[in-house]
Amino acid sequence: MTRSIRALLLPLAALALVVGACDDPTQIEGHVDAEGLAIVSGTTELYRYMLEEGTPSPLTLTVGRHDVAIVLLDHDGEPLPHEGGEDEEELILTIADESIFTWTPEAEVPGEVHETEEFHGELNALAAGSTTMEICLLHAGHCDFRTPEATPIPVTITQ
C-alpha cells in the first residue's frame, strides 16, 4: 500500500470508529433510552416534558428552595428503571441567567440505590423573572438525552 493511500485511509478509518461508536445511543447497551423527564417535589409533579411533544412547556416556581428529583421517562411517560452499570450518568442543567435560578445536584450517597433513573438536587429560585434552561444526561462523553437546544425550557420565577 502506498504512503498516500495509507495517509488517506487512516483518517477515514478513525472517522468511521468515532461515528460508528455511538450513532444511535438508544441501541447501544448501557445507554439510557429516555424520551422525556419529570421534575418532582415530594409527591407533586412540577414539570413534565416528552421529546415527541416538541416545544417544552414552561416551568414555574415560586422564590425559594425546592428539593426535587428529576426523573427520566420512557416513551409511555413512565419512570425509566435504573439499570446501573459501570458508566454512571451525570445530569447537567445549563441555566441562562443564574441570578434568577440555580441547580445544585445532591451528592451521591455510597450504596444508595434508586429503582428509577432519577437525579436529586435543589432548584433555587432566587428572584422573580424569566430565564431558560437546557438539560443533558451526560454519559460516556455525550448526551444520551437532551432537551431541545433550539428551544430551551422557559423558567418563570414568581414571588
Q: What is the pLDDT of residues 33-76, one digit of tens each?
A: 899 999 999 999 999 999 998 889 999 999 999 999 999 999 99
Rounded-to-integer distance, Cα 114 and Cα 120, Å: 10
pLDDT at 10 over 50: no
| Residue 123 near residue 101, CB atoms below 8 Å | yes
pTM of the model: 0.76
pLDDT at 127 over 50: yes
12: helix, strand or coil: helix
Strands of the sheet containing 64-73, edge to edge, are 44-50, 36-41, 64-73, 118-125, 101-105
Q: Which domains does the chain have, with CATH numbers?
A: 24-158 (2.60.40.1080)
Among 155, 157, 137, which residue's Cα sits nearest to residue 146? 137
Query: Which H helix or E strand runs over 62?
Result: strand 59-62
Residue found by looking up cell 495509507 in the block: 6
